[in-house]
């Protein structure tokens, strides 16, 4: 899972140009979009709907000569730490701009993903104020709820809690799972609990390591024989179990990786996330 932090919501300012943009999908399912911040154009930012705060690299903060204005706690599955925050000039994605975002500053090296150097992360403080669609199949991000012809069909009830979008995923006769709808998750990540243990069996795979802005975390791989996602049943799904991070209540069971779907629409007004299976 990529970085997560406390929430700070700001108002979106609608642009007059196109509301969609193509994106790069990295080998781990990350969505990388072109973003402008102030005078800097074509910066590479990772979309992370599981992060409540946006992040910029030290290099970007230095180029824009942004002084620190606050210190903020960053919470990830690896723990929590205090980081400096800066007030960004207008940050724009596909001609939709947002003013005065308070972004966490992290080292430039921390934003290296394989051979790619990123400039920052867009969290739900930017993404969470409007309907959005992430079309993984078409490699397109759009500021809209999508069209009905494209969204076939499954609609998951959702709520926003501490800045994170939580979806309800019924599991047949058992209790429903409540998962963070997360573009930053590489795979299904579950927080250790009796409910999760009842769904899983040992995978026989060596332990995993997750890298986050808060550091590295060892995880236990497990096998989920039957995992119900909307109207589809996924069999023998390999997932990871980690200790519950600080700041995540017992009512949240884990993270759902959105890159596993053909497209995903966040419908804020309808309190639902619409997924289309591959």
| CATH at residue 80 | 2.40.70.10
According to DSSP, residue 243 is labeled P
More confident residue, 226 or 5: 226
Whether 128 and 29 map to the same domain: the answer is yes
- pLDDT of 190 > 90? The answer is yes
Task: Give the residue-averaged pLDDT of 214-227.
Answer: 81
Q: Are residues 26 and 132 in the same domain?
A: yes
**pLDDT score of 129:** 85
CA-CA-CA-CA dihedral for 257, 260, 266, 272, to nearest 10: -90
* Total number of domains in the chain: 2
Does the structure show a pLDDT above 90 at 73?
no
Could you tell me how far CA 218 lies from the centroid of its own chain? 20
The pLDDT-based confidence of 153 (bands split at 50, 70, 90) is confident
Q: Are residues 251 and 164 in the same domain?
A: yes
- 134 and 160 within one domain: no
Q: Is residue 3 part of a domain?
A: no
What three-state secondary structure class fits 198?
A: helix
Q: Is residue 200 part of a domain?
A: yes
* Euclidean distance between CA atoms 143 and 127, whole angstroms: 9
Three-state DSSP class for 199? helix
Residue 190 belongs to some domain of the structure: yes
Q: Give the residue among 12, 37, 33 at the shortest CA–CA distance from 92.
A: 37
Whole-number pLDDT of residue 22:
97
Q: Would you state the pLDDT for residue 5?
A: 36
Q: Binning pLDDT at 50, 70 and 90, where does residue 75 land? A: low
Is 135 in the same domain as 209? no
Residue 253: name the closest of 266, 240, 265 by CA: 240
Question: 119 and 32 share a domain?
Answer: yes
Residue 72 or 51, more confident: 51
Helix (H), strand (E), coil (C) string for 244-273: CCCCCCCCCCEEEEHHHCCEEEEECCCCEE
Of the candidate ranges 38-42, 76-80, 106-110, 127-131, the one whose mean pLDDT is the lowest: 76-80
- What pLDDT, on a 0 to 100 scale, did the predictor assign at position 77? 56
Vertex 160, ends 157 and 163: CA angle to 5°?
150
* Selected residue with higher pLDDT from 273 and 75: 273
- Band (248; pLDDT cuts 50, 70, 90): confident
Question: Which of 64-73, 214-223, 265-274 is least confident?
Answer: 214-223
Q: Do 120 and 196 lie in a common domain?
A: no
What gap in Å lies between CA 4 and CA 212, rounded to an integer?
A: 9
Q: What percent of the chain clears pLDDT 90, i.e. is strictly above it?
A: 60
- Which pLDDT value is given to residue 16? 44
Q: Residue ranges of the alpha helices (H) in the chain? A: 58-63, 124-127, 194-199
Average pLDDT, the chain: 85
229 strand-pairing partners: 232
> Which is more confident, 17 or 273?
273
Closest C-alpha among 129, 111, 114, 112 to residue 52: 129
In a domain? residue 148: no
* Bigger pLDDT: 92 vs 77: 92
**Cα torsion angle, 154, 160, 166, 172, sign:** negative
What is the tens place of the pLDDT at every residue in 100-146?
899 999 999 989 887 889 999 999 999 998 999 999 999 999 999 87
Q: Could you tell me if 133 and 21 lie in one domain?
A: yes
Quick check: is 1 in a domain? no
Query: Which pLDDT score is estimated for 72?
Result: 78
Kindly tell me if the per-residue pLDDT of 4 is higher than 70: no
Range of the domain at 109: 12-142
């Amino acid at each position: 899972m990529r970085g997560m932090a406390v929430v700070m919501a700001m108002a979106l300012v609608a642009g007059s140009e196109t509301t969609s943009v193509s994106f790069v999908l990295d080998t781990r399912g990350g969505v990388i979009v072109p973003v402008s911040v102030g005078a800097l154009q074509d910066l590479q930012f990772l979309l992370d709907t599981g992060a409540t705060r946006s992040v910029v690299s030290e290099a970007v903060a230095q180029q824009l000569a942004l002084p620190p204005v606050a210190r903020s706690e960053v919470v990830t599955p690896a723990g929590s730490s205090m980081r400096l925050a800066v007030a960004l000039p207008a940050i724009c994605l596909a001609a939709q701009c947002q003013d005065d975002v308070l972004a966490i500053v992290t080292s430039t090296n921390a934003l290296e993903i394989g051979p790619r150097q990123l400039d920052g992360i867009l969290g739900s403080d930017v993404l969470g104020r409007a309907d959005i669609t992430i079309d993984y199949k078409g490699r397109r991000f759009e500021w809209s709820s999508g069209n009905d012809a494209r969204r076939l069909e499954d609609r998951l009830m959702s709520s926003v809690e501490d800045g994170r979008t939580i979806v309800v995923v019924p599991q047949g006769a058992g209790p429903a799972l409540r998962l963070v709808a997360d573009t930053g998750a590489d795979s299904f990540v579950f927080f250790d609990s009796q409910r999760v243990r009842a769904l899983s069996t040992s995978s026989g795979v060596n332990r995993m390591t997750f890298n986050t802005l808060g550091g590295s975390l060892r995880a236990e791989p497990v096998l989920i024989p039957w995992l119900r996602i909307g109207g589809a049943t996924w069999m023998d799904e390999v997932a990871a179990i980690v200790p519950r991070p600080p700041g995540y209540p017992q009512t949240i069971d884990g993270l759902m990786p959105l890159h596993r779907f053909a497209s995903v629409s966040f419908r804020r007004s309808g309190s639902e996330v619409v997924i289309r299976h591959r």
